[in-house]
Structure 1
Amino acid sequence: MPLSDTIDACEQAHRACTESVIHGMQQGGPSAEWELIQLLLDCADINETAADFMLRSSRLHHLTCQVAAEVSDKCASACEKLASEDVRLKECAQACRRAATACRKTIKN
């Protein structure tokens, strides 16, 4: 997998998580619970950081990718629990899974 694809996946996860925070705060209910909001913010930040490390060809990008993959999987699982009720969280879960998969492939190369 080209590094540019992993960067794109991380950037998409960052966007999806950030948009899901705003969506959750506007909707209220389960999608606005603090634990989910915190996880979405963590996921957005680590994916942005991982993308930045890859964009500047950091020799340490494998470390941020490893953390991004783990956090993205946790975030995806949390979003999937509410995905049947909330399309935004379903899309976020999908973006997070793509980022996790892409990061893991990048680590292996």
Structure 2
Amino acid sequence: MSHEYVQQCIEECLKCIHACNHCYDACLNEENVGMMKECIRLDRDCADICALAAMMMSRGSSHSKSICRLCAEICEACGNECRKHAHQHCQQCAEACFTCAEACRAMAG
């Protein structure tokens, strides 16, 4: 895997972390927070796995591919949940999640 390709995947993970953290915070401020529980949980899971994936790739870990495979799975789950909600922050998060999932799948081979 070329350095540029790895760097692109790391950048997508960082963008996803930002989008998930923003969505998480915005969901906590929604009128019906109870309806947003699964979205909030997945936002946290997704941000955490993206952070781990970015760290593993940045240090060239031999486990990067496995972590990226899992990251893609969690990003897709988060994106699917966010898509269910009409809030702009959820829709933006879904897009970031799906883009990151695609980059991580390519990275995982």
TM-score scaled by length of structure 2: 0.91
Unaligned runs of 5+ in 1: none
Identify which of 51, 60, 68 aligns with 1:57: 60
Identify which of 70, 73, 78 aligns with 2:73: 70
Q: Which residue of 2 aligns with 1:22?
A: 25
Aligned length: 106
Relative to structure 1, is the Cα distance of residues 60 and 88 closer, same or farther in structure 2, using a 3 angstrom cutoff?
same
Alignment check: 8 A CA contact 1:25 1:32 kept: no
Unaligned runs of 5+ in 2: none
Q: Which residue of 1 aligns with 2:8?
A: 5
Alignment check: 8 A CA contact 1:54 1:61 kept: yes
TM-score scaled by length of structure 1: 0.91
Give me the identity figure in percent.
29
Q: Which residue of 2 aligns with 1:102?
A: 103
Please, what is the CA RMSD of the aligned residues? 1.5
Q: Using the alignment, how far apart are the partners of 2:21 and 2:40 within structure 1?
A: 9
Report how far residue 31 of structure 1 moved: 7.8
SS in 2 for 1:58: coil
Alignment check: 8 A CA contact 1:76 1:93 kept: yes
